[in-house]
Amino acid sequence: MSLLQAPLSLPASTFQRGYCHCSMCRRATGGPFAFLMRVDEAALEWTVSPPAVYRSSPIAERGFCPDCGSPLFLRYDDDNRIRLTGGSLDHPERVRPQYHYGVESRPPWMDCGQGLPEQETEESF
């Protein structure tokens, strides 16, 4: 199921995207980091229910899918762009991160485990 139609038809050079290791993103995603893409919210079209929003800090709010709970974005109060979660895209492999942010909170083991044993998922949806 597609949660949104993101502006992936735009040249990748038109929006910034990177890893955020800050403790707020870690908690919001439940993972060791967030992969965020800063885009103009007006360029997005939500394909299912409009996102639900909660205040995640004194300076920002976060959106999530009210049907499945997927984290969808981070929106700072003083920025008209939102940071989309790259993992919510149907094809995150098409958008390559450019930088790391919040590295003071990055766990020292954070390297995505290159070299560990690998296995493909057994389910498909």
Q: Of 20 and 82, which CB lies nearer to Zn ion in the complex structure?
A: 20
Q: Of 31 and 49, which CB lies nearer to Zn ion in the complex structure?
A: 31
Instruction: Report the C-alpha gap between 106 and 62 in whole angstroms.
Output: 21
Based on the shown chain and the rule CB under 5 A, indicate whether residue 20 belongs to the binding site for Zn ion. Answer: yes
| 34-40 and 81-85 strand pairing | antiparallel
| 4-5 and 45-46 strand pairing | antiparallel
Among 25, 65, 84, 89, binds Zn ion (CB under 5 A): 25
Based on the shown chain and the rule CB under 5 A, indicate whether residue 22 belongs to the binding site for Zn ion. Answer: yes
> Using CB under 5 A, which of the segments 25-33, 56-64, 88-96, 106-114 binds Zn ion?
25-33
Chain positions contacting Zn ion, by CB under 5 A: 20, 22, 25
